[in-house]
């Protein structure tokens, strides 16, 4: 039968390599922060007639005027265009910034309507503002701060609970698996430069809470098998426990992926960006629970036993 | 055996009823109603689903006091009422922010202007009714403006200061010197007549002048309740909002986008649910069938909670519910895998189920508590859509544990009572059954 413990160095090696790559990318590349964090203006228009992005770019440039703030135009879904731009640097107060943002959005909306649907009135217009996010830079900072607090709080609370229910080594291993999952998830987003928004925080915290599930079920089985064990080493116990719970780990991961996967496949864009990190996190969580947490625990405990024997 | 079948049918009927109520609601009479999710107003949709505008204002001041913040919130509420935004909500966010949610408002620009502006508060001698809108008036002759009121506070006690007088709420006004002069002149002429307090062209109070008031303080008395008095004081003060408000966040979602998002999410939920049910049926056969019934009860309970607790359902919130469907069967998977193991060891179905539940319970609770911890943190500390996600995830996990443990256990007991002995139905192949049983005995 396949033994995970025999290949533990391969599995743990992969994990450590991925973690190191993630840390490096986080330091060197950082995140591609979305409007939510970085502050700025993002407006989605639906234009129900032929248009090209160059014309839209021209309109946006004109509306923004001589004080160019960086802007981007992105076409999506064929009839939608996402216009993003930042605040001008010389806007010192929040009052200036809010006046600037609303004014420019109105200008762009009016200009687009004049160009693509000059005769329209009211709601029948072929140019519709579908979605707009105007976020001041200070809000983004607040958001980042509260996200950090929530994650730290969650980690501490989970560590507390796991240490309470299991012994200390299990607690540390479970938290290690947790940090591992979140770190690699963050690293992936950093490497790919996928944009990070508010909902990403909710996704990360979901992964924090959920990816530990598999680890705990395995730890629970180890706890039980240790009680009945006589001469087996911790490695043997871990191997046995992981294999006994393998079906369960797989099946649970599959059912969860089935539902959140459907959300990703059928959902609108804003919900897809939310579902994707959860999906990735669940997969990484499965790997760390099954291939890393158990072996790490057993190696730690066995080496403690060996050290005692030698002494 | 027959008793088990009766009980089994009974619980199926109960679950069907719960699910029906969750979807369609139940009307006992005109007064006693349990709304379902498809009822009008059954679900409180977040703005990202029904469309609308969210504006977050930030106080342009260092550490604004709680009093000032609640004054501002009162003012914004009053303005929303005056503009007929009856479904709008105003909540405080953090120490210096106010979050205003306006359903169906597309013109964010206009909303920001009307809400963020300093209130137009006027004390008037005569006003004229607006012929087109019975709530609106135009001011003909002004006594003074809100700027000339320094402060407005609520006091409780007897109006004449003596212990014998009737206790009531009243509003103390503190005027500026300029205001005092104007007020003295007007009250001298207007004894016995009302002075209209007009905010944004709407009369909010019209106290009668009892005598000439030539003082920096005066009071408005009347049959106020505590809340009325506080609201009036807040409104008078709001002519002097203690600081400017800047909007730091404006988000608009069109109703069409929200509708599309909701449709897709519901579709994803239904398909995901069916896939999970099929998966359980294939993997665990009879046990899976029981889990599927329990899953239906889970859906029914969650729908009832959503429709009756006025949970603000956001798009991530729906994702939270769908996600928890996948997680909901987790407890069953843990338990069933355990039951299968015990069956392979050659135990009877009855003792295998008992042992499976006993041994799996700790793992089920431990693994769910950590997710609950995360959900609660998102619920309590998150804002906006994140909060909505935390709430539904929390509801989903708690209800799923209840349905997976209690409902499934009840169902399995009836199943045992029906005496089904074919192990294939429990997800164990004939071959492994023989091998494992042999191995177990050896």
DSSP for B120-131 reads -EEEEEEEEE-T
| Contact in structure between B22 and B300 (CB atoms under 8 Å) | yes
Could you report the per-residue pLDDT of A85-102, keeping only the tens digit for each? 888 777 777 777 777 888
Pair A250, A191 in one domain: yes
Contact map slice: A 180-199 vs B, CB within 8 A: 198-199
Domain assignment present for residue A2? The answer is no
Comparing A256 with B385, the larger pLDDT belongs to: A256
Mean pLDDT of A196-216: 83
| B432/A contact by beta carbon, under 8 A | no
Pair A261, A162 in one domain: yes
Task: State whether residue B40 is helix, strand or coil.
Answer: coil
Comparing B211 with B119, the larger pLDDT belongs to: B211
Beta-strand runs (E) in B18-76: 26-27, 33-34, 44-45, 52-59
In three-state form (DSSP H/G/I as H, E/B as E, the rest C), the secondary structure along chain A is CCCCCCCHHHHHHHHHHHHHHHHHHHHHCCCEECHHHHCEEEEEEEECCCCCHHHHHHHHHHHHCCCCCCEEEEEECCCEEEEEECCCCCCCCHHHHHHHHHHHHHHHHHHHHHHHCCCCCHHHCCEEEEEEEEECHHHHHHHHHHHHHHHHHHHHHHHHHHHHHCCHHHHHHHHHHHHHHHHHHHHHHHHHCCEECHHHHHHHHHHHHHCHHHHHHHHHHHHHHHHHCCCCCHHHHHHHHHHHCHHHHHHHHHHHHHHHHHHHHHCCHHHHHHHHHHHHHHHHHHHHHHHHHHHHHHHHHHHHHHHHHHC
pLDDT-derived band at A123, boundaries 50, 70, 90: low
Q: What per-residue confidence (pLDDT) applies to B38? A: 75
Q: Which two tokens stand for residue B224?
A: 């106020």
Q: Which two tokens stand for residue A306?
A: 């060996």
Tell which of B49, B249, B382 to mutate to test the A interface (max A CBs under 10 Å): B249
Pair A240, A95 in one domain: no
Burial A94-128 (b: 16+ CB within 10 A, else e): beebbebbbebbebbbebbbebbbeeeeeeebbbb
Instruction: List the single residue in B108, B359, B362 with the smallest CB-CB distance to A132.
Output: B108
Comparing B137 with A236, the larger pLDDT belongs to: A236
> With an 8 Å Cβ cutoff, are B326 and A220 in contact?
no
Percent residues over pLDDT 90 in chain B: 8
Mean pLDDT of B383-400: 85
| Contact in structure between B349 and B421 (CB atoms under 8 Å) | yes
Comparing B311 with A11, the larger pLDDT belongs to: A11
Q: Which two tokens stand for residue B19?
A: 């699910």
Question: Distance between terminal CA atoms of chain A?
Answer: 34
Pair A208, A305 in one domain: yes
CA A199 – CA A241 distance, rounded (Å)? 36
> With an 8 Å Cβ cutoff, are B268 and A262 in contact?
yes
Instruction: List the single residue in A206, A251, A263 with the smallest CB-CB distance to B374.
Output: A206
| B58/A contact by beta carbon, under 8 A | yes
Q: How far is A308 from chain B (nearest CA, A)?
A: 31
Does position B442 have pLDDT exceeding 50, yes or no?
no
| Contact in structure between A87 and A101 (CB atoms under 8 Å) | yes
Q: What per-residue confidence (pLDDT) applies to B439? A: 43
Pair A50, A30 in one domain: no
Domain assignment present for residue A301? The answer is yes
Query: A213 to chain B: which residues are within 8 Å by CB?
Result: 327, 330, 367-368, 370-371
When mean pLDDT is compared across A112-126, B310-324, B351-365, the lowest value belongs to A112-126
Domain assignment present for residue A1? The answer is no
Last residue of a domain, one of A77, A107, A135: A135
Report the alpha-carbon angle B266-B270-B276, nearest 5.
140
Q: What per-residue confidence (pLDDT) applies to B395? A: 92
Comparing A277 with B386, the larger pLDDT belongs to: A277
Report the alpha-carbon angle B77-B83-B84, nearest 5.
90
Pair A174, A288 in one domain: yes
> With an 8 Å Cβ cutoff, are A259 and B264 in contact?
no
Report the alpha-carbon angle B249-B255-B383, nearest 5.
35
Q: What per-residue confidence (pLDDT) applies to B440? A: 41
C-alpha atoms less than 13 angstroms from C-alpha of B417 in its C-beta half-sphere = 15
Domain assignment present for residue A3? The answer is no
| Contact in structure between A219 and B385 (CB atoms under 8 Å) | no
Pair A199, A101 in one domain: no
Q: For strand B137-145 and strand B52-59, is the pairing parallel, antiparallel, or unpaired? A: unpaired
| A210/B contact by beta carbon, under 8 A | yes
> Rounded to 5 degrees, what are φ and ψ at A136?
-75, 150
Tell which of B245, B268, B271 to mutate to test the A interface (max A CBs under 10 Å): B268
Mean pLDDT of A238-259: 91
Q: How far is B52 from chain A (nearest CA, A)?
A: 9
- Domain count along chain A: 2
Comparing B59 with A188, the larger pLDDT belongs to: A188
Rg for chain B, CA atoms, rounded: 32
C-alpha atoms less than 13 angstroms from C-alpha of B404 in its C-beta half-sphere = 26
CATH 3.40.50.300 correct for B2-43+254-441:
no
Does position B434 have pLDDT exceeding 70, yes or no?
no
Instruction: List the single residue in A220, A275, A278 with the smallest CB-CB distance to B362.
Output: A220
How many interchain CB pairs under 8 A, A with B?
A: 236
Query: Max Cα separation, chain B?
Result: 110
> With an 8 Å Cβ cutoff, are B367 and A208 in contact?
no
When mean pLDDT is compared across A21-35, B59-73, B112-126, B331-345, the lowest value belongs to B112-126
Tell which of A109, A133, A202 to mutate to test the B interface (max B CBs under 10 Å): A202
Instruction: List the single residue in A93, A206, A258 with the smallest CB-CB distance to B276.
Output: A258
CA B323 remoteness from chain centre: 20
Query: B244 to chain A: which residues are within 8 Å by CB?
Result: 95
Tell which of A82, A219, A247, A262 to mutate to test the B interface (max B CBs under 10 Å): A262
Does position A130 have pLDDT exceeding 80, yes or no?
yes
Could you report the per-residue pLDDT of B226-256, keeping only the tens digit for each? 777 777 776 776 655 667 777 888 888 888 8
CA A136 – CA B377 distance, rounded (Å)? 25
Last residue of a domain, one of A87, A109, A135: A135
Q: What per-residue confidence (pLDDT) applies to B160? A: 54
- Specify the CATH number for the domain of residue A202: 1.20.1640.10
Helix (H) / strand (E) element for B114: namely helix B108-116
| A270/B contact by beta carbon, under 8 A | yes
- Specify the CATH number for the domain of residue A67: 3.30.70.380
Residue ranges per domain, chain B? 2-43+254-441, 52-253
Q: Which two tokens stand for residue B197?
A: 């307090």
Q: Which two tokens stand for residue B31?
A: 């007064």
Q: What per-residue confidence (pLDDT) applies to A1? A: 62
Q: How far is A191 from chain B (nearest CA, A)?
A: 25
Place of tokens 């069956």: B343
Q: How far is B144 from chain A (nearest CA, A)?
A: 29
Domain assignment present for residue A65? The answer is yes
Query: B276 to chain A: which residues are within 8 Å by CB?
Result: 255, 258-259
Task: State whether residue B101 is helix, strand or coil.
Answer: strand
**ipTM of the modeled complex:** 0.84
| B361/A contact by beta carbon, under 8 A | no
- Closest chain A CA to residue B275: A258
Quickly name the fold that domain B52-253 has. Alpha-Beta Plaits (3.30.70)
| B174/A contact by beta carbon, under 8 A | no
Q: Which two tokens stand for residue A242?
A: 């992981």
Mean pLDDT of B406-426: 81
Query: B390 to chain A: which residues are within 8 Å by CB?
Result: 202
Mean pLDDT of A53-78: 78
- DSSP structure class, residue B147: G
Q: What per-residue confidence (pLDDT) applies to A268? A: 85
Place of tokens 């359980």: B280
Instruction: List the single residue in B265, B327, B366 with the smallest CB-CB distance to A220.
Output: B366
Pair A196, A287 in one domain: yes
pLDDT-derived band at B277, boundaries 50, 70, 90: very high
Q: What per-residue confidence (pLDDT) applies to B438? A: 45
Q: List the beta bridge partners of residue A82.
A: A44, A74
Q: What per-residue confidence (pLDDT) applies to B164? A: 52
Mean pLDDT of B18-27: 84
| B61/A contact by beta carbon, under 8 A | no
Q: What per-residue confidence (pLDDT) applies to A27? A: 94
pLDDT, mean over chain B: 80
Domain membership of residue A161 as a residue range: 8-34+139-310
Does position B424 have pLDDT exceeding 80, yes or no?
no
Comparing A119 with B389, the larger pLDDT belongs to: B389
| B47/A contact by beta carbon, under 8 A | no
Burial (CB < 10 A; 0-12, 13-18, 19+), residue B82, is middle
Burial (CB < 10 A; 0-12, 13-18, 19+), residue B345, is middle
Contact map slice: B 410-429 vs A, CB within 8 A: none
pLDDT, mean over chain A: 86
Pair A117, A214 in one domain: no
Place of tokens 């001698």: B125
Does position B111 have pLDDT exceeding 60, yes or no?
yes
| B48/A contact by beta carbon, under 8 A | yes
Pair A274, A130 in one domain: no
Mean pLDDT of B37-52: 78
Q: What per-residue confidence (pLDDT) applies to B437? A: 46
Q: Which two tokens stand for residue B169?
A: 């709420």
Last residue of a domain, one of A109, A135, A161: A135
When mean pLDDT is compared across A299-308, B22-31, B346-355, the lowest value belongs to B22-31
Could you report the per-residue pLDDT of B292-323, keeping only the tens digit for each? 999 999 999 998 888 888 787 888 888 888 88
CA B416 – CA B396 distance, rounded (Å)? 29
| A69/B contact by beta carbon, under 8 A | no
Pair A119, A242 in one domain: no
Contacts of B270 (CB under 8 A, 6+ apart): none
- For every residue of B381-421, DSSP letters joined together read H--HHHHHHHHHHHHHHHHHHHIIIIIHHHHHHHHHHTT--
Domain assignment present for residue A238? The answer is yes
Query: B392 to chain A: which residues are within 8 Å by CB?
Result: none
Place of tokens 């069907």: B16
Q: Which two tokens stand for residue B376?
A: 């609660």
Q: What per-residue confidence (pLDDT) applies to B190? A: 82
**Sign of the torsion formed by the C-alpha atoms of B249, B255, B260 and B266:** positive
Tell which of B377, B379, B383 to mutate to test the A interface (max A CBs under 10 Å): B377
Tell which of A77, A83, A98, A198 to mutate to test the B interface (max B CBs under 10 Å): A98
CA B433 – CA B438 distance, rounded (Å)? 8
Pair A21, A112 in one domain: no
Does position A25 have pLDDT exceeding 90, yes or no?
yes
């Amino acid at each position: 039968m396949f033994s995970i413990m025999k290949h533990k160095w391969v599995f743990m090696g992969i994990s450590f390599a991925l973690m190191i790559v993630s840390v490096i990318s986080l330091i060197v590349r950082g995140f591609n922060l979305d409007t939510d964090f970085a502050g700025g203006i993002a407006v989605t228009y639906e234009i129900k007639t032929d248009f090209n992005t160059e014309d839209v770019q021209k309109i946006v440039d004109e509306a923004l005027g001589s004080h160019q703030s960086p802007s981007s135009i992105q076409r999506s879904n064929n009839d939608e265009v996402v216009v993003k731009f930042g605040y001008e640097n010389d806007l010192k107060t929040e009052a200036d910034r809010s006046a600037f943002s609303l004014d420019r959005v109105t200008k762009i909306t009016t200009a687009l309507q004049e160009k693509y649907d000059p005769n329209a009135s009211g709601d029948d217009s072929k140019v519709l503002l579908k979605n707009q996010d105007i976020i001041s830079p200070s809000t983004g900072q607040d958001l980042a701060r509260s996200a950090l607090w929530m994650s730290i709080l969650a980690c501490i609370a989970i560590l507390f609970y796991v240490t309470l229910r299991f012994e200390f080594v299990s607690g540390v291993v479970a938290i290690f698996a947790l940090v591992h999952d979140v770190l690699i998830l963050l690293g992936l987003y950093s490497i790919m430069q996928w944009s990070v928004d508010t909902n990403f925080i909710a996704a990360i915290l979901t992964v924090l809470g959920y990816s530990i599930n598999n680890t705990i079920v395995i730890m629970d089985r180890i706890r039980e098998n240790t009680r009945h064990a006589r001469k087996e080493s911790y490695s043997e116990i871990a191997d046995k426990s992981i294999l006994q719970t393998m079906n369960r780990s797989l099946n649970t991961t599959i059912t969860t992926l089935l539902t959140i996967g459907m959300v990703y496949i059928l959902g609108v864009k804003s919900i897809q960006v939310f579902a994707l990190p959860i999906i990735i996190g669940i997969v990484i969580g499965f790997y760390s629970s099954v291939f890393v947490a158990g072996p790490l625990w057993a190696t730690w405990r066995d080496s403690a036993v060996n050290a005692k024997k030698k002494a | 055996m027959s008793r088990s079948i009766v009980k089994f049918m009974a619980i199926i009927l109960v679950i069907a009823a719960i699910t029906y109520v969750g979807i369609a609601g139940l009307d006992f009479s005109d007064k006693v109603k349990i709304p379902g999710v498809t009822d009008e107003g059954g679900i409180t949709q977040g703005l990202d689903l029904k469309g609308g505008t969210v504006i977050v204002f930030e106080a342009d001041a260092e550490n604004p006091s709680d009093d000032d913040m609640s004054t501002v919130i009162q003012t914004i509420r009053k303005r929303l009422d005056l503009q007929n935004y009856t479904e709008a909500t105003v909540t405080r966010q953090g120490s210096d922010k106010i979050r205003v949610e306006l359903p169906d408002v597309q013109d964010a620009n206009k909303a920001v202007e009307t809400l963020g502006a300093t209130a137009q508060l006027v004390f008037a001698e005569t006003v004229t009714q607006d012929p087109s809108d019975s709530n609106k008036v135009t001011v003909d002759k002004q006594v003074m403006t809100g700027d000339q009121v320094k402060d407005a506070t609520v006091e409780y006690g007897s109006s004449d200061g003596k212990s014998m007088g009737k206790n009531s709420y009243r509003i103390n006004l503190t005027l500026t010197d300029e205001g005092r002069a104007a007020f003295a002149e007007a009250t001298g002429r207007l004894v016995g007549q009302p002075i209209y307090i007009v905010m944004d062209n709407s009369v909010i109070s019209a106290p009668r002048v009892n005598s000439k008031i030539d003082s920096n303080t005066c009071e408005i008395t009347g049959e106020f309740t505590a809340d009325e008095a506080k609201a009036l004081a807040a409104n008078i003060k709001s002519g002097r909002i203690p600081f400017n408000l800047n909007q730091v966040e404006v988000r608009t979602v069109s109703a069409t986008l929200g509708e599309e998002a909701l449709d897709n999410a519901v579709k994803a939920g239904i398909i995901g649910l069916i896939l999970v049910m099929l998966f359980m049926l294939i993997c665990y056969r009879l046990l899976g069938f029981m889990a599927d019934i329990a899953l239906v009860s889970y859906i029914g309970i969650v729908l009832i909670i959503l429709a009756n607790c006025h949970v603000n359902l956001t798009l991530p919130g729906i994702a939270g519910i769908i996600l928890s469907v996948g997680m909901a069967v987790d407890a069953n998977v843990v338990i069933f895998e355990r039951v299968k193991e015990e069956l392979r060891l050659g135990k009877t179905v009855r003792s295998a189920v008992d042992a499976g539940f006993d041994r799996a319970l700790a793992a089920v609770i431990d693994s769910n508590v950590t997710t609950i911890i995360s959900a609660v943190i998102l619920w309590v500390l998150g804002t906006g859509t994140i909060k909505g996600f935390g709430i539904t995830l929390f509801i989903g996990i708690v209800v799923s544990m209840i349905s997976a443990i209690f409902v499934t256990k009840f169902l399995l007991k009836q199943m045992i009572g029906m005496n089904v002995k074919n192990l294939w139905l429990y997800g164990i192949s004939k071959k492994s059954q023989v091998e494992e049983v042999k191995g177990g005995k050896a």
